[in-house]
Amino acid sequence: MSDHKQDNTTDFGYQQVPVEDKAKRVADVFHSVATKYDIMNDLMSGGVHRLWKRLTIEQSGVRAGHRVLDIAGGTGDLTLRFSRLVGAEGKVVLADINDSMLKVGRDKLLDRGAAGNIEFVQANAEALPFPDNYFNVITIAFGLRNVTDKDAALRSMARVLKPGGKVMVLEFSKTDNPALTKLYDFYSFNILPKMGQAIAGDAESYRYLAESIRMHPDQETLKGMMQDAGLVQCKYQNMTGGVVALHTGIKP
């Protein structure tokens, strides 16, 4: 399954846009929201995103000396925790395609006295600028849905992962509870844009973020895409009733 349509367009929220335009449009969204990203994450999820990320860290198996890649690492929540786990002998690379997000993340981590074992790299997930078989663990949290060609990104992750290494995709997904889905839709399309307008002065970007969640592949589809990228033991764990799912896969 590829995101490319026959007429060379792709989804940007509910709109169809030329494939070559999506990256710029997504970039504009994140340039707009970068400085308010952390506070909006807390408000959008009621702070629950911290729990989702903590569970991801706990299941990562990251330990001292590991090399970890945090793709779409944005403001550095996962990177900061990984940095403490890998220690002086390890390395964490925070990669983001968006220089505004990267700058906010760098400033935040420096303010927190983050260790010198972190590198910041502006990179496109579809063509990661790292050697083959390089990282022990790769995470992408709330970033895959913004990538134009998700299949290419998953293949790129598999390439730079060491054999036996783990890819972890934490992403908004599909609930199987009709009442929860209805509540979630009302919140996403009525409350969230208003919140974005009030706090970040930008309703449109938050409307896109809500739409992009609905356009993202469901749990089974994403699992299949990870298998197609060459990963094995692919599985997922639903959190908060399937509002979010953590997918994992291993490089054989």
What is d(CA 240, CA 49) in angstroms, rounded to the nearest whole number?
A: 10
Q: Which residues are annotated as a binding site?
A: 75, 96, 124-125
- HEC string of 4-52 equals CCCCCEEEECCEEEEHHHHHHHHHHHHHHHHHHHHHHHHHHHCCHHHHH
Average pLDDT, whole number, for the chain? 91
Asked whether the whole model's pTM tops 0.85, one would answer yes
Write down all domains in the chain, each with its CATH number in brackets.
9-176+207-250 (3.40.50.150)
pLDDT tens per residue, the chain (252 residues)? 444 445 689 988 888 988 888 888 888 888 888 888 888 778 778 889 999 999 999 999 999 999 999 999 988 999 999 999 999 999 999 999 999 999 999 999 999 998 799 999 999 999 999 999 999 999 999 999 999 999 999 999 999 999 999 999 999 899 989 999 899 888 888 988 898 898 888 888 888 888 888 889 999 999 999 999 999 999 999 999 999 999 999 999
Scanning 90-149, the segments in alpha helix (DSSP H) are 99-111
Environment class of residue 250 by beta-carbon count within 10 Å: exposed (0-12), middle (13-18) or buried (19+)?
Answer: middle
Q: Could you list the residues known to form a binding site for S-adenosyl-L-methionine, using ranges.
A: 75, 96, 124-125
